[in-house]
Structure 1
């Protein structure tokens, strides 16, 4: 069943091999869905007393942000409109953060997939009881996926500012022709197939990995809470042991074949959104919402919202949603706690959702109607059936190997079967060189070692 949002243009979904079941989130339920977002569950509040009343220090709070910021000065003004505590915001890339010897800040905002790396380095602290205890805990009211993202090794290290799962986005032409879908195989039958040439400068390595893992999770028969990508306890990679991972590679290749340049598989998420939303042809891609800009736009009526559920597969947390933690080097704890409480407030998240990617706004102010409705259609999906991988230490090394081999396959230089074999071999090499990875993987899954 496919439900249309009149005057809108987005789709959010996860797939299944056997059945796609569309569920519409009506405009009337958007306000209810807000309560499912990673917030305090109490609705809009006044600026936190702790933010306003913490003793003011002459030294600026050092805040490091590991994502693109649209206007850091606007964020500083917003904060200092409520407290005279000075603040110093520094924007970093993931490479700049992890390339340093220490995290020399008070508060760190970062993509949640870095959790394991940061915990293993001792760069982030467990949240103190002043933030997690009592009725005013910043973690009260979180949906299950967001609560899982907040924790690592069953300890709460972060407040999640955004929890993001990837979905299947289809053009109006696809949705108009099909009332029900039989899974990935049926979808790709209706998509164009062209000869393609992929150039290196067109490849977005992170986006390729996002799409592949989202597809693999959606069709996997493995239980996500015990890990999709490695067998425990020996930490053996399973991409070449289960046919579903080769099948996922075949589906990704099929997405690439829709255009001569392969952009719906290898291009950035923004370019994929634009291509599908502006096309009159039957097109599909896989997108996470956290990395899309707040001013996301499209032509009314060209998209449908398809919420795809499955009895066997899992949604996949892309890890692009942001966490905020107290840093190990924090020297102004009371002031830092006040800032974290301020970040937990719905009105703050709504403002910041227009300033940086990876934050789920609590209301539509500051984001486009298209993105807001896409986000709201996603929220009921954030249950316990979400795979949270890869977020163990060295996650970027695993992702890099996967990106290399997926790119080689999409260029026609290897087959899906060769791809999964090479990835499994590369991942096994990492694990042999790092014997602690088995324990770390279990910790990343929240399992007792």
Structure 2
């Protein structure tokens, strides 16, 4: 069941894609170096193992694969490999250190790379920097809304298109027979990823629609100043709403990752959830007793205008959904240490092409589909207990989210420092009597201090490049 009727217009292209399989484009054949292809994979041993299997099945040239972590890499002085696969939020950091370089322009129209097949928001927010393409995708998980359609039908609820409607649905379900009485069906009306290191990203995803407006490019940092905007009313509202819903979730379910939220939802713990699906973790898990439905995250019909310092209605009063990318995933880039940038790029393209995607990307819990041609095979990435209808609806929600022209990201140099400070702040808001406004204003000052330490002129340029300017 679709989210609402207007989905049909957005999904015309997707429907054609699902119904009309396209030929698998080959990697351009050309003479390649005889030495090994040296590849570094960060924070993802499962993905590394899948890459090794796929490479051995497709290439005669040896692969010299190294598994490491982002933390270890950033202690060093370079990427000691031909190419590196890493979380997309580190793109700006690696560029600032001059450790990676853009894909060769001669490969921009490579049939196997097929940039036009990649979801637009993934390409714009995760692969491009300053108008140049620096990466190839391996998939980026994205938060979606999960819900039980039979509950919504019983309570005569509409699928929420705004965060206000979402909170109203949470309250309605929490006070209903589904969550009250001697034998409640659910332990919580909804679940959200409130674990440390995830709550800050959830908070940004919830606040994005309040912060982005038709007149601004920059959402987290001022375009001309790189001043932190995290203390503005748009984020205060997002924090207040997050705190309100967190208070409805049982304490033993307040430390979940997005994937764990998805598993708990499929286990029947809640009527709604914000998270994502990954492959089933236990082979002996029971068969699903219901058919879930999915939709993009809610948005907002209002936004905070920082210029006028007022709340304003969006044109026509229509809600806008603003996805937050770089929350998860993996991308690959050419190392400046490579003997041949072109050959390194071709190695990455081989592993990222549409026919390799289903063999490589699903091995990682951090990834999902990233090409239109792979949406029809999304069952390779998610719990196989879902029916074809459920998998199709989940694919629709993912495709719409990752194709959004409104998406925002956070992949500046120092991203780990910014997120760590924000995670502490969100924790204080959720776990104590700390007021969102005062706490976020202090966080904004911390962000400004981080920016000054990195170098404000450099961060102004980086912010602009990250936004594609």
2:446 is the alignment partner of 1:435:
no
Partner residue, 2:380: 366
Cα offset, 1:397, TM superposition? 0.9
Q: Which residue of 2 aligns with 1:213?
A: 204
Q: 1:101 aligns with which of 77, 90, 93?
A: 77
SS state at 2:164 partner: helix
Q: 1:322 aligns with which of 325, 330, 333?
A: 330
Structure 1 residue runs without a partner (length 5+): 5-12, 14-19, 36-40, 195-201
Match of 1:285, SS state, is strand
Given candidates 100, 119, 134, the residue that maps to 1:124 is 100
Could you list the per-position Cα deviations for residues 392-429 of structure 1 after superposition, in whole angstroms to 9, with x for gaps in the alignment? 11111111110011111111241222321221121121
Partner of 2:162: 183
Match of 1:70, SS? Answer: helix
Alignment-derived partner of residue 89 in structure 1: 65
Q: What's the counterpart of residue 38 of structure 1?
A: none
- 2:139/2:330 contact within 8 Å kept: yes
The aligned counterpart of 1:409 is 429
Which sections of structure 2, spanning at least 5 residues, go unmatched?
180-192, 300-317
Quote the offset at 1:222 in angstroms.
2.6
Q: Report the 3-state secondary structure (helix = DSSP H, G, I; strand = E; otherwise coil) of the residue aligned with 1:210.
A: helix
Residue in 1 that maps onto 2:274 = 286
Distance across 1 between alignment mates of 2:267 and 2:139: 27
- 1:210 and 1:130 mapped to 2: Cα distance? 36
For 2:357 and 2:6, the matched residues in 1 are separated by: 29
Matched, 1:263 2:272: no
Structure 2 CA distance for partners of 1:71 and 1:320, relative to 1, 3 Å: closer
The worse-fitting range, judged by mean Cα deviation, of 249-258 and 67-76 is 67-76
After superposing the two structures, state which structure 1 stretch, 392-401 or 411-420, moved more: 411-420
Q: Residues of 2 paired with 1:294 and 1:129: CA distance? A: 36
Alignment partner, residue 418 of structure 1: 438
Using a 3 Å threshold, how does the CA distance of structure 1 residues 410 and 390 change in structure 2: closer, same or farther? same
Aligned length: 411
Q: Is contact 1:209–1:399 with CA below 8 Å preserved after alignment? A: yes
What SS does structure 1 have at the residue aligned with 2:250? coil
Instruction: Please give the alpha-carbon distance, in whole angstroms, between the structure 2 residues aligned to 1:116 and 1:34.
Output: 34
Shift of 1:325: 1.1
Deviation at 1:312, TM superposition (A): 3.9
Q: Secondary structure at the match of 1:89?
A: strand
Report the 3-state secondary structure (helix = DSSP H, G, I; strand = E; otherwise coil) of the residue aligned with 1:90. strand
Which residue in 1 is equivalent to 2:87?
111
Secondary structure in structure 2 of the residue aligned to 1:337: helix
Distance 1:405 1:145 in 2: 28
